[in-house]
Amino acid sequence: MSAPHEWRELVVVDLGLGNLRSVERAVLAASEGLGVAPETSAQADVVARAKRLIVPGQGAFRDGAAALAANGGALAQAIRAHLAGGRPYLGICLGLQLLLEESDEAPGARGLGEIAGRVVRLAPETVVEGGLARRLKVPHIGWNQPECLPGRAGDELGSLLADAGEAPWFYFVHSYQAMPDDPTLVAATASYGCLEITAAIVRDNLIATQFHPEKSQKAGLSLLRRWLAYRP
C-alpha cells in the first residue's frame, strides 16, 4: 500500500452514491496496458494527491453536495485544488452537475461553483409521431448520440471520441441538465424529442459528460482510454 503523501495515478471519487462497480470495471478495462493503477476513495487526502480524477455519480444533487461539504468541505477543497492545478478531471453525470453552483433539484444546496450556472430539470415536451401526440418521459433514459459542437470545447471532446466510431451512441439516465452561463463551455448536445440537452462540458483540464461512458460499451471504453492518455 502506498503512503498517504504519495501521488496516485488515478482516483475515482466515492461520494457514497450509486454503484461504483461499473465505473471501476470500465476504468480497469480501459487502462489495461497503460500502466495506470486506478484507486477508489472517499478520502480528501487521497483525492488531493491524484494525478487524474474521475468524479462519477448516480443520485441526488443534495446528497452529492452534502458529501462534498462534509468534514468542513475537505473533499470539495481537494477537488477544487485538483482543478486549479491543471490536472485532468473527468466528471460523469452527477460529477458534471456538481461542478455548477446550484440545482433546481435541491434549492439551497451548493455545488462546487467551478462553473457559473445552474442545473435545471428537463421539461417534458409534447411530440407528434405518426400523427399521434405523446409526452416525452422524464427521466431521459437510454441510448443517444451526442453531437460535438464546433469550436475548441467541442473539438477537444471530438478528439477523445475519435476511436469511438462515427456518431457514437452513449447511455443517458437523468432528469436534470447542466446550463452553464457561458454557452461556449458546452462541448456536445443531444436531442431528446424537441429538447436539446447538454451532453458534455469541456474547459481546460476539465471534461464532464452527462452520459455514462462506463455503461456505453465500446464507445465508452474508447473515450475512457483516450482520456487516460489525454494531456490538457
Residue 30 in domain: yes
Residue 53 has a pLDDT of 97
CATH number of the domain encompassing residue 208: 3.40.50.880
Establish if 40 belongs to a structural domain. Answer: yes
Is 124 inside any structural domain? yes
Residue 202 located in a structural domain:
yes
Question: If we measure between CA atoms, which residue out of 51, 54, 18 comes closest to residue 213?
Answer: 54
Report the predicted TM-score, pTM, of the whole model to 2 decimal places: 0.91
Residue 161 lies in a domain: yes
pLDDT tens for the 232 residues of the chain, in order: 445 568 999 999 999 987 789 999 999 999 988 888 889 999 999 999 999 999 998 889 999 999 999 999 999 999 999 999 999 999 999 999 999 999 999 999 999 999 999 999 998 765 555 655 567 788 999 999 999 998 878 888 888 887 776 779 999 999 999 999 999 999 999 999 888 999 999 999 999 999 999 999 999 999 999 999 888 7
Judge whether 3 lies within some domain.
no
CB 121 within 8 Å of CB 191:
no
Report residue 177 as a C-alpha cell: 441538465
Q: What is the pLDDT of residue 107?
A: 96
What is the maximum alpha-carbon separation in the chain? Answer: 65
pLDDT at 134 (0 to 100): 64
Per-residue pLDDT, 166: 73
Residue 133, domain extent: 10-228
Q: Is residue 4 part of a domain?
A: no
Q: Which stretch of DSSP H or E encloses residue 207?
A: strand 206-209
Phi, psi at 10, each rounded to 5°: -150, 125
pLDDT of amino acid 141: 94
Helices (H), 31-102: 44-47, 61-84, 94-97
Q: Which residues are catalytic?
A: 93, 212, 214
Residues 6+ apart with CB under 8 A from 224: 26, 27, 30, 31, 90, 213, 214
**Domain annotation covers residue 187:** yes
The domain total for the chain is: 1
Which grid coordinates are listed for 215? 455503461
